[in-house]
Structure 1
Amino acid sequence: MTQGPWATLALSSLLSLFPGLAQADSGVAAPQDLQALLAQRFTQDRTGVCVVAARVEKTQVQRARLCAQPRREGMEPGFDSRFEIGSISKTMAAVLAADLIRKGRWSLDDPIAKHLPAGTKLPRQGERQILLRDLLTHSSGLPALPPGFAPSQPANPYADLSEAQLLTALGRVELTVPIGSRVEYSNFAMMLLSLALARSHGGDFERALAGGLFEPLQMHSASISRPGRQEAPEARGHLPSGAQTAAWTITPNLAGVGMVRASLDDMVRYAQAQLGLLADVAPELQDSMRLSQQSLTPQFAMSWMRMPVPGRPMLVHEGGTGGFSSLIALEPEAGRAVVLLADTALSDLGGLGDVAQVALGLSDRPLLPRRVQVAAPALLQALVGDYVLGGLPLRIWREGTQLMAQAQGQAAFALDQDSRGDFFPRTFGALLTPVWEAGRVDRAIWRQGGGAMELHRQPRAVP
């Protein structure tokens, strides 16, 4: 299958940072009925996505689910189906870290070297080493992914990455910014944290997560690679085109980066526990979760992103893998949470943040599905030309009413337009957004795999 002109962008991030929530009002509208909200946003959406959702209001839980279109394989996920929750897994790893800190075994100011194998080569700046707090707040200065990361399976990029390869890559890092000075989201850093957690739990991260979180919270179907305590149907991941895609896997001790699978029922229990709403949670675990929520920087608690909505402090994390999208938002002071799980990769289309904002009463703007539409001939013609995408030549042309594109050395592909005004390939997940300036299009934004790059028109050669 065509992977697109810049397929390596698919590895750039598991996360979209819930755009717009930080600018939301404290309460512009009453939260909408969840089922009606899903219907408004997703009915007949071109992706065919299936979404399950829950809103927790103290002792009340409302659930909803909707498929934009009937699933061709006849399997529509339910509340008990297991989804890849992506980077929400990082908040679960943070609970394990907080528990070790609470017990006095770890400190936020421990150098990460203390918890990695002896002799591991790490970057440092004079006496300043990378600390645990730097990993938990994405301010370590480490790149998004290990240097030299070149997966042999683009559809399952982390499958072949070993612990030894991760540590070898760490020794090749040259830091370009002062440690702790700038937030740069890093899956590399979180894989190191996951490995450190494994080493502090007898060398088995998955067992630590099961015993420390899943079993006490009765998240019966949650797991990484081993079966959960309760057998549950598996949701199948999809590209935005509607095509099925491979599940993501990883060496279990690195899985804190984003490889937990869980059902909506599991995630409701997790949200309720984080809010302190479950009477059957041990006080020690509740203390660890509360510690993981405490602010470390203006932007972050332990892996949780802090959203400074006026009068309504919130903790948020989104997740995304090759075929799934997810979001959890907590409002601890109000005892409120929203959980969204989708069986389609939506990062390039804006993720699930718009739905969460309306579900939380932070926005009252109408949400509209993305539906295929016929592009105006003038727009098609305005896009025709030769471009450069990250150094890669790319040509766009018309074949009648159909827009076509081809990157150098790759197969041509058709581009259709949706009702948001963006163009998308039929055969792989990506999005092209034209930028109109002075009545013409000389550049566009190409989004793929959670990353974005500008497409620039090449000047016409002078005869």
Structure 2
Amino acid sequence: MRNRFLNWIVLMALGTNAHASPLPAPTDAEIQEILADRIDKQQQSIGIVVGIIDANGRRIIAHGHPAKGDPRPVDGQTVFEIGSVTKVFTALLLADAMEKGTLSLSTPVATLLPESVIMPENKQTPITLGDLATHMSGLPRLPSNLVPADMSNPYAGYDAAKLYAFLSSHKPQRRPGVEHEYSNLGAGLLGHAIALKAGVSYEDLVISRIAVPLGMKDTAITQQPDWAERRATGHDAAMEPVSDWDLDALQGAGALRSTVDDLLLFLEAAMGKTASPLAPAFSALLSTRQPLGNGDRDQQALGWVVSGKGDEQFIWHNGGTGGYRSFVGYRPSTGVGVVALSNASTEVGVDDIGRHLLNRNAPLAPPIVERTAIVIDPARYDVYVGTYRLAPDFELTIFQDGDSLFAQATGQDRLEILPEAEHRFFTKLIDAQISFTLKGDRAESLTLHQGGQSSPAPRVSK
């Protein structure tokens, strides 16, 4: 789950040079320097904790603080929101149920929901649990009836009744199993359905089936008694404190909170470095794969994303909420695993750090370029005002409020955009720009420039 512009483009794995000679892994001192640069110089986080598993065991490198103005250091026991890394736990619950013989990849989702719910499917191609786990369900990224009362906590209050109402009224754009489309809705529905089958809450299922067997004492959704002094505070891209996120019916998409210490236990079990009753389920996660639609560079396994080939291949997932970013991944050829957690929701995040520690040939993200706004007459903003479609279920609304122009993506907070050239705007909070193409005296389309990609979006309404 990602906030602000981070949802507009799905940033895939940073490219690596497959022909470059392997470089030695960064030392602890080098990692500490990376974290200090990211926090102290680039001001892209308040606190970052990195955990590494390699041939020498496990170690923790951390820099920064649990909250702005808090002098205490972060460490392996600091509790963060982990966002979409939760999806790997949800997929593992499915794999565990498959090993127990209670569910299968071919189980139709409809058979696990109340009879009153009408799934958006036909009898010939029902949406299955496998479709949900691999983002092949044909369901949109978010349900159209997710209308947050509080944009700082967008999933709060989206309960089972609203989920069922959406499913019963949604008209699918494609059949399941045809095309990959990352869906928080689908992952949340998967967790909800598995919990219904088990007869317990999603959180209780994660704790009993995963956390307890692996010795993970700090992985949960609700506040634990001993978290009070160890909880990190989330921050937005401007390094201001923000609210934590509370998920209801869609908990399986991104509701978990955890620590680097706990996630290293999870990663050790996933990599087969420690004996675990979940070993068969972990293996099952990688036995099913679907193409991501970007050639053969990446594949979607159950929960995990698999990137690269041969010795370069690594298995990973990332996450982001309103105030946090996370990365968990490992490289089978080297036996190295990495966890990185940050208490700020910035575009740079910690993905590049995680990948760099798995493969030093993978570059760190460059610093965000400082941009300067020019002065134009606010009366000229009217030519840009309108709604632009980036994807079938994802739109960008440009609107004016007073003398300022704003952009607001579906289900996200608004961001002020500032002019830097004729028909080109930027936002101060992240490295993203918008350029408009005019036809006569009205913009007919815009292009979002972010992460080295340019995504056109036609105007669909004023």
Could you state the TM-score of these two structures normalised by the residue count of structure 2? 0.79
- The letter for the 2-side match of 1:274 is A
C-alpha distance 369-39 of structure 1, shift in aligned 2 (>3 A): farther
Partner of 1:355: 353
Show the 5 A alignment for 1:152-231. Answer: 152-227=149-224
Cα distance in 2 for partners of 1:294, 1:149 equals 33
Residues 243-295 of structure 1: CA distance to partner in whole angstroms, max 9, x if unpaired?
A: 110000122x631110100011111111111111124x3xx311111212323
The answer to whether the Cα contact below 8 Å between 2:13 and 2:307 also exists between their aligned partners in 1 is: no
The separation in 2 between residues aligned to 1:98 and 1:382, in whole angstroms, is 57
Judge conservation of contact 2:25–2:357 (CA < 8 Å) in 1.
Answer: yes
2:394 equivalent in structure 1: none
**Cα 1:22/1:164, change in 2 over 3 Å:** farther
Match of 1:4? none
RMSD of Structure 2 on Structure 1 (CA): 3.9
Match of 1:3 in 2: none
Tell me the amino acid that sits aligned with residue 406 of structure 1. Answer: L
Aligned in 2, Cα 1:244/1:41: closer, same or farther, shift over 3 Å? closer
What's the counterpart of residue 302 of structure 1? 302
Partner of 2:294: none
**Does the aligned pair in 2 maintain the 1:324–1:343 contact within 8 Å?**
yes
Deviations 1:90-144 (A, max 9, x none): 1011111101101111111111112222232001135111011100110100011
* Partner-residue secondary structure (3-state), 2:148: coil
Comparing 110-119 with 97-106, which one deviates more in the overlay? 110-119
Residue 65 (structure 1) aligns with: 62
The 3 A distance-change label for structure 1 pair 24 and 436 is: farther
Q: Say whether the 8 Å CA contact 2:153–2:244 is kept in structure 1.
A: yes
Bigger shift: 150-159 or 328-337? 328-337
Distance 1:411 1:175 in 2: 28
1:21 to 2, 14, 27: 14
1:142 maps onto 2:139 in alignment:
yes
Per the alignment, residue 440 of structure 2 pairs with: none
Q: Which residue of 2 aligns with 1:406?
A: 405
Shift of residue 414, structure 1, vs aligned partner: 8.2
Amino acid at match of 1:218: G
Q: Residue type matched to 2:405 in 1? A: Q
C-alpha distance in 2, partners of 1:205/1:88? 15
The aligned counterpart of 2:26 is 32
Q: 1:23-60, CA deviations, whole angstroms, 9 ceiling, x for partnerless residues?
A: 55376532223223323444322344321111211442
Alignment partners' CA distance in 1, 2:121 and 2:455:
31
Contact 1:147 1:172 in 2 (8 A): no
Is the aligned partner of 1:433 residue 2:410? no
Instruction: Supply the AA of the counterpart residue of 1:86.
Output: G
Cα 1:21–1:446 shift into 2, 3 Å:
closer
**Residue aligned with 2:427, SS:** strand
d(CA) in 2 for partners of 1:86 and 1:374?
Answer: 30
Point out the more displaced range, 359-368 or 121-130. Answer: 359-368
Aligned equivalent of 1:119: 116
Residue aligning to 1:342: 342
Which AA in structure 1 matches 2:324? F
CA shift digits 1:331-383 (9 cap, x unpaired): 2343221111000012xx24322222221125254654447x573xxx73699
Q: Distance in 2 between matches of 1:68 and 1:83?
A: 12
**Identity value in percent:** 24
| Aligned residue in 2 for 1:257 | 253
Structure 1 pair 97–374 and aligned structure 2 pair: CA distance change class (3 A): closer
- Any gaps of 5 or more consecutive residues in structure 1? 1-8, 398-403, 458-463
Which of 230, 240, 255 is the matching residue for 1:243? Answer: 240
In structure 2, what is the Cα distance between the partners aligned to 1:452 and 1:148?
A: 29
Secondary structure, in 3 states, of the residue corresponding to 1:149?
coil
- CA distance in structure 1 between the aligned counterparts of 2:387 and 2:200, rounded to whole angstroms: 41
| C-alpha separation in 2, matches of 1:411 and 1:94 | 32
Instruction: Return 5+ residue gaps in structure 2 as ranges.
Output: 292-298, 389-396, 438-444
For residue 61 of structure 1, give the secondary structure of its aligned residue in structure 2: strand
Give 1:146 deviation, angstroms.
Answer: 1.4
Letter of the 1:62 counterpart: R
1:188 Cα deviation (Å)? Answer: 0.8
Q: Are the equivalent residues in 2 in contact too, given 1:357–1:363 (CA < 8 A)?
A: no
Counterparts of 2:229 and 2:24, CA distance in 1: 34
Matched residue SS, 1:433: strand
Alignment of 1:1-20 (within 5 A): 10=3, 17-20=10-13
1:434–1:393 distance in 2 versus 1, CA, 3 Å: closer
1:267 is matched with 263
C-alpha distance in 2, partners of 1:75/1:11? Answer: 29
- For residues 185 and 105 of structure 1, the distance between their equivalents in structure 2, rounded to whole angstroms, comes to 26
- Taking the aligned partners of 2:267 and 2:404, their CA distance within structure 1 comes to 44
Counterpart mapping for 1:326-337 below 5 A:
326-337=326-337
Q: Which residue of 2 aligns with 1:5?
A: none
Counterpart Cα distance in 2 of 1:190 and 1:70: 30
Per-residue CA deviation, residues 421-446 of structure 1 (Å, 9 max, x unaligned), is 99434xxx555426699xxxx96637
Matched positions, count: 422
